[in-house]
């Protein structure tokens, strides 16, 4: 967004369609991230007992994505600030469905982490525990999962920009992702 331009918030009538589209994109990102994470754990010396993500693991990752979505919505101004809570209610309902309460427990847990790296470590521990069937999980497994969390955030940010039709931001995110991969940071 340019310095002197103001983004126009979509009308309320469009919010459900946008939230539904974003929900689909977030699920796709989650599924790809889980596949990558399972592959990473499988390449290590870890015994994966759940070769498909549990409902709890999905809730944890959805919560993490929702926090990323909230940050992206606020940063980009896709929805007017005074309407943010209303749009978030719709989005959270679409993403969480009947798992709203459990997902919100994870959301609160990650929000209270005290920084991005601590947030990522909490998610990594939660996901590793579910996939390995051990709580607490092997610390090395948690770190292996943590190395994949930035990919989840990139995918989530891209999904938000795509759902709001922000091609400029999509290009910026894609370039940043490609640079991070090229630099060996992902």
- What confidence tens digit (pLDDT) does each residue in 144-170 have? 999 999 999 999 999 999 999 999 999
Per the CB < 8 A criterion, the answer to whether 71 and 24 are in contact is no
In a domain, 4, yes or no: no
Residue matched to tokens 């640079």? 179
Output the pLDDT for position 7.
66
Task: Please give the C-alpha separations between residue 171 and each of 11, 99, 135, in angstroms, as whole numbers.
Answer: 25, 33, 39
* pLDDT tens readout for residues 18-69: 999 999 999 999 999 999 999 999 888 888 888 888 899 999 999 999 999 9
Q: Where does 115-155 show beta strands of DSSP type E?
A: none
Residue 5 lies in a domain: no
Residue 76 burial by Cβ neighbours in a 10 Å radius (0-12, 13-18, 19+): middle
Residue 141 burial (10 A CB sphere; 0-12, 13-18, 19+) = buried
Distance CA 76, CA 36 (A): 28
Domain limits for position 107: 12-182
In degrees rounded to 5, what are phi and psi of residue 147? -65, -20
142 found inside a domain: yes
> In whole angstroms, what is the distance from residue 104 CA to residue 183 CA?
35
Write down the mean pLDDT value for the chain: 92
Euclidean distance between CA atoms 149 and 152, whole angstroms: 5
What letter does residue 9 receive in the DSSP assignment?
Answer: P
Which of these, 26, 42, 22, 29, lies nearest to 128 by C-alpha position? 42
Q: Please check whether residue 105 lies inside any domain of the structure.
A: yes
> Does the residue 52 lie in any domain?
yes
In a domain, 133, yes or no: yes
Count how many domains the chain has. 1
| Cis, bond preceding 136 (omega within 30 deg of 0) | yes
pLDDT at residue 5 is higher than 80? no
Residue 64 lies in a domain: yes
| Domain assignment of residue 101, yes or no | yes
C-alpha closest to that of 73 among 59, 86, 57: 86
């Amino acid at each position: 967004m340019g310095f002197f331009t103001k983004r126009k918030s979509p009308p309320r009538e469009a919010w459900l369609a946008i939230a539904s589209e974003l929900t689909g994109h977030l699920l796709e990102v989650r599924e790809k991230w889980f596949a990558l994470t399972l592959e990473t754990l499988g390449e290590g010396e870890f015994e994966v007992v759940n070769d498909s993500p549990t409902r709890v693991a999905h809730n944890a990752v959805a919560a993490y994505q929702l926090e990323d979505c909230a940050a992206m919505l606020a940063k980009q101004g896709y929805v007017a600030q005074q309407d943010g809570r209303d749009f978030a209610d719709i989005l959270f309902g679409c993403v969480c469905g009947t798992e709203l309460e459990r997902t919100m427990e994870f959301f609160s847990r990650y929000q209270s982490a005290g920084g991005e790296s601590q947030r990522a470590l909490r998610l990594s521990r939660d996901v590793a525990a579910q996939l390995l069937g051990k709580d607490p999980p092997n610390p090395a497994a948690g770190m292996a999962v943590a190395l994949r969390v930035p990919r989840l955030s990139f995918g989530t940010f891209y999904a938000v920009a795509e759902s709001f039709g922000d091609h400029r931001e999509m290009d910026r995110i894609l370039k940043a992702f490609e640079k991070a991969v090229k630099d060996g940071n992902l």
